[in-house]
Structure 1
Amino acid sequence: MQEPAILDSHLHLVDRSRLDYPWLSGAPALDRDWLLETYAEEARRIGIGGAIHMEVDVADARLEDETDWIAELAASGIFPIRGAIAACRPESAEFPAFLDRSAARDLVVGFRRVLHVVPDEVSKGELFRQNIRLLSGPDLPFDLCVLARQLPLAIELVDSAPNTRFVLDHCGVPDIEGGQWDTWARNLSEIAKRPNVCAKISGVVAYGGAGWTLDELSRWVTHTAETFGPERICWGGDWPVNTLGGGLSTWVAATRAIFAGCSAEERAALYSGNAARIWKL
């Protein structure tokens, strides 16, 4: 039986002629343009039928410019972009006005502020947490992008905003190469107790080191899936970051193998149904 088309919930695009990416100079393996045409060619070949764009931590002054650019790409017909998870700065007093503007755009389906590039104290601030609570009004989810050591920080943030929906990126960014299992597994199980949190099975090939194997990767992915359950997980590619661990096709193949024993209904939920529900597509 043919598998359902994948809805990729985590696509990054980079065009240095359009936007400013201060972090790219410190990531030489990724310091180039990553364009929709390149992604689309590979994605179509491996059964990806649409994508949600994930913000790429552009310069602060360019946050809304990124959304404008993704809107142009969505209208271009190059590949189906079903929504955009926009960058935001909840630590700013300007956030409520920004939220009003962004929520009025049909393309914007959620928000993210990468938390491992700022001091831990940022997300502990009352203004930050107050602004995250505002997301419950338009019911737009907030993606949690934290390192494994920051999972307790993510739990604190979730507990401070019980009416806001959250999506934990990349299985909580486990240190697969270093085998740092115990604390990660315990904290992942703890955050999964919060019913307003879902998990993204996304891009973990980038954390396995050059010699990762399917058996090694499966342990971490399976724990995430079992901890959150089949209704609270979705699939994400994390292109182009996944090129650090084999690339998009390799990650799709690994995921297909790991979840091959699940029911057709569970696989359909993972690959498309849950994402469509989480981001109201």
Structure 2
Amino acid sequence: MIIDTHLHLIYRDRLTYPWLKDEPGLDADFTWETYAREARRLGISSVLHMEVDVAPADIEAETAMVQGLSQSPDSLLRGVIASCRPEDPGFAAYLEAQRANPFVKGFRRVLHVVPDDVSEGALFRENVKRLSGTGLTFDLCMFPHQIDKAKALVDLAPDVTFIIDHCGVPDIKGHGYDTWKRGITEIARRGNVRVKISGIPAYGDRENWTLDDLKPYFDHTLGAFGFDRAIWGSDWPVCTLGGGLSTWVATTQALLHGCTMDEKDKLFAANAKRLWQLG
């Protein structure tokens, strides 16, 4: 069984995605039907949708759209990690509304698309602390040089589970291993942080990456966090920039060569199932 904890769906006729104009490789419709056809062939049995940084006015509409798709017969969708704006005064009311919806499993605010001082604001930090006691997770997507911002948020709310997306977004193509490694080692020392093994082919040479290019990053991430604190995600359709869903599943399997069945199960399914109480 594989649980995909990081699926993005793009429906340009229903929602607005301001960032797509700068990403021609992703400026297209990526639908549930297209993803599910391939996912079922790979043994993916449950899926969480990850917010796609839609326009702020469409945040709640995105959750509603995905929840609607989950109602179709035999859907694999089990919940969403919803977009949020902790820097906004309306966050507290938004959080209470989302808490009433069991389909919402957590939140994400992408940090590398905003100025660094956004996450340092008093309101942003106060609102992140509001997640304490809710059971809702918070995904952190940032560049290696922003690791101190992530650590500050993590330390503010020790009973909130934070998830580092995409192994910390290493610059694999630019050989940025040493800087990235230090940051991952430091944040992994915090017990309320998990890491998502997802999407890293997109950070290498997208046309010519090899297994050996990814292996040091994969190995250090799992070495720092351990198999009990790692979860798997596809980052589809971003992963199509580096080979696609089937390639990433096969690559992960190859990188896990020599690991036990228990370790593989933790990464692919058991940890996610426990964290988000997925049936």
Which 5+ residue runs of structure 2 have no aligned equivalent? Answer: none
| 1:272 pairs with 2:265 | no
2:28 equivalent to 1:26: no
Q: Which one of the candidate residues 135, 149, 166 is aligned to 1:139?
A: 135
Match of 1:252 among 249, 252, 255: 249
Q: Does 1:194 align with 2:180?
A: no
Q: Distance in 2 between matches of 1:117 and 1:123?
A: 11
Whichever residue aligns with residue 276 of structure 1, its letter is: K
3-state SS in 2 of match to 1:238? coil
Question: Counterpart in 2 of 1:94?
Answer: 90
Tell me, yes or no, if structure 1 residue 149 matches structure 2 residue 149. Answer: no
Aligned to 2:73: 77
The amino acid of 2:122's aligned partner reads E
SS at match of 2:101: coil
Q: Report the CA distance between 1:157 and its aligned residue.
A: 1.4
Take 1:18 and 1:63, find their aligned partners in 2: how far apart are those partners?
A: 12
Letter in 2 for 1:256: Q
Query: Partner amino acid for 2:264?
Result: R
1:51 counterpart = 2:47 = yes
* Equivalent position to 2:215, from 214, 218, 240: 218
What is the DSSP-based 3-state SS (H/G/I as helix, E as strand, rest coil) of the residue aligned with 1:124? coil
Cα contact 1:109–1:280 (8 A) shared by 2: no
Shift of 1:77: 2.6
Which residue of structure 2 lines up, in the alignment, with residue 37 of structure 1?
33
Distance 1:190 1:77 in 2: 44
Please state how far the C-alpha of 1:280 moved relative to its aligned partner. Answer: 2.1
| Structure 1 residue runs without a partner (length 5+) | none
Instruction: Select the residue among 108, 111, 114 that pairs with 1:115.
Output: 111
Q: Return the alpha-carbon distance in structure 1 between the equivalents of residues 73 and 240 of structure 2.
A: 25
Write the letter of the residue equivalent to 1:174. Answer: P
1:8–1:59 CA distance, 2 compared to 1 (3 A): same
* Range moving further from structure 2, 209-218 or 63-72: 209-218
Percent of residue pairs identical:
55
Report the residue type matching 2:161 in the other structure. R
- What residue is the counterpart of 1:262 in the other structure? 259
Q: Determine if contact 1:115/1:123 at 8 Å carries over to the other structure.
A: yes
Q: What residue is the counterpart of 1:106 in the other structure?
A: 102
* Secondary structure, aligned partner of 2:133: coil
Q: Tell me the residue number matched to 1:229.
A: 226
- What do residues 225-271 of structure 1 show as CA deviations (whole Å, max 9, x unaligned)? 11000100000000000011111111000000111211111101100
TM-score (norm 2): 0.97
The residue type paired with residue 73 of structure 1 is L
What is the CA–CA distance in structure 2 between the aligned matches of 1:77 and 1:104, rounded to whole Å? 24
For residues 74 and 88 of structure 2, the distance between their equivalents in structure 1, rounded to whole angstroms, comes to: 35
- The match for 1:205 is 201
Q: Does structure 2 retain, via aligned residues, the 8 Å contact 1:40–1:78? A: no
| Residue 238 (structure 1) aligned with residue 224 (structure 2) | no
Superposition deviation, residue 78 in structure 1: 5.5
Write the distance in 1 (CA, Å) between the matches of 2:176 and 2:202: 15
Look up the SS of the partner of 2:38 in the other structure: helix
Alignment partners' CA distance in 2, 1:247 and 1:78:
23
Distance 2:57 2:74 in 1: 27
Aligned residue among 5, 18, 39 for 1:9: 5
Cα shift at 1:150: 1.1
